[in-house]
Amino acid sequence: MGMKRPSFLPSPAALVSAVLLYVLLGAFGAVAAAVIPHLIELIATSPRLAMCGLLGLVISPGVVVALVHHVGHRTLDRAERKTRGLFPAAESCWAGAHAWLVLYGTSVLASLVMLVVDPPELEPEALALLASFVDRAGAGTLASVHTLVWILIAAALYELERRARPRRSTEA
């Protein structure tokens, strides 16, 4: 029968997913390195278009995972003689959204852990810039718009999760 895997270890599927996501992060980094200089140049003449480009760049890993998930499912369904639509279903969109959240969440947490492992020495100018950023983040209307956008995005992700998961029976 073999030994049972300890519950604190991730499953092989989780490890494969993490490795594939890391590969996607590397590819995304290469694309970002090529695109960001052009977006920086575009800021001077068309800041909204540049920010749309930046937003598209930032969400692109989730879109790529959703499309790959959808194509993979279509291929498997075709082998079983099932049909699947041309556009990704909620489960493929959720796979992309989940991968996007994991990609960015892991990147942020890994950076924070590294700040604990090897904390930087901040110059007084950097501390003043950080204090200025914190002060501006709480500025009136802009903060209200940010809050509204945040709530709408979170609600959309929760709705996507609800639609992607099968309904469970309430009977125990």
Give pLDDT < 70 ranges for the chain.
1-2, 7, 115-116, 122, 126-127, 129-143, 145-148, 150, 158, 161, 167-172
pLDDT at 49: 93
Cα separation of 47 and 41, whole Å?
A: 9
Q: Classify the C-alpha dihedral 88-106-156-150 as positive or negative.
A: negative
**Tally of helices (H runs) and strands (E runs) in the chain:** 5, 0
Q: What predicted TM-score, i.e. pTM, was given to this entire model?
A: 0.61
| 42, 49 contact by CB (below 8 A) | yes
